[in-house]
Amino acid sequence: MDMRTVRTTSGRGRIFDSVLDTVGDTPVIRINNLAPAGVQLCVKAEFFNPAASVKDRLALNIVEAAERSGALKPGQTIVEATSGNTGIGLAMVCAQKGYPLVVTMADSFSVERRRLMRMFGAKVILTPRAEKGTGMYNKAVELANQHGWFLARQFETPANADIHEHTTAREIVGDFAGHRLDYVVTGYGTGGTVSGLARVLRRERPETKIVLAEPANAALVSSGISQNRGEDGSPAASHPAFEPHPIQGWTPDFIPFVLQEALDSKGFDDLFTIPGPEGIAWAKNLAAREGILTGVSGGATFAAAMRLAEKAEPGTVILAMLPDTGERYLSTPLFQDIHEEMDEEELALSRSTPGYQMG
């Protein structure tokens, strides 16, 4: 860029009717400093959604699909089990549309998530971490049955993969129109992203391989063990391959019914397992080297993309999904070695001039 050139903007050419109209159309961003030579590595930055995660998409579609079908009545309370991002997305949607929201969440997830949902006006019911994801799920079912509330059912509803088919996948096809795209890499929480992407990419970009990633110590899909389910697709029990892991938003203690579509249809081409510390390390690298702030799930997805990139032929193009923002992880291991007070180097810089020093 010419040193005399100043970046300018001119608006989007429209006034949005509500915050909900800003969901989607998130940018694809080239990685410049971390990508291996000769490989084009990009990320789809889902933290550009208004409540800062990919789950804004499914939250909006769950509510609007239920409104269209009549399953959700005006003013009816919505209840859902979530590790946080779906709950935050639902809280945003419910605030705008005027629905009360109750969220159930295991107490192991970051406190930032609770506070954000409550900031949007939701009620947050904590469940014991020892009961894992199935515990918070079953609590939501109990509350829905007891009080006649609408259960969002993000892990089973067709509205989940549908929104990724009609928005996320269409955006990728549009952004890479006329360009090479060899791999798309994603983790799974509910499985909606991979299932929705597979519907479109298998048909319109069959040369593009889809890579799924999951935690190394909770490799449910890799285990080959099927999920025990109820008749409605809900988890009947915790999956035997699950262990607690630090990649919040990835892989509950069951294989979601929404993901089962991708498993049954061979909707992905390869499967990587990522240790939690590796995801944390790459999230930090993205922030420090690219100026891209994502959470542990984004770092873990990027870790899988980097494994591909490091072995890829020159010219390979890889897209990694970044589900959310790093600010959702301030109280987690992602930030545990990010200090609040000045370190020795910062103190030395402060003392290099005489004024305005801390006592």
Write phi, then psi, for 66 (nearest 5 degrees). -70, -35
Pairing of strands 183-187, 209-215: parallel
Pairing of strands 28-30, 40-45: antiparallel
Locate 64 and state its tokens. Answer: 């609007």
Write phi, then psi, for 211 (nearest 5 degrees). -115, 125
The single-letter DSSP state of residue 289 is I
CA-CA distance, 179 to 183, in Å (whole number)? Answer: 12
Buried b (16+ CB within 10 A) or exposed e, 221-231: beeeeebebee
CA-CA distance, 91 to 97, in Å (whole number)? Answer: 10
Residues known to be catalytic:
55, 297
Rg (CA), the chain: 21
SS3 breakdown of the chain: % helix, strand, coil, rounded to 5?
Answer: 45, 15, 40
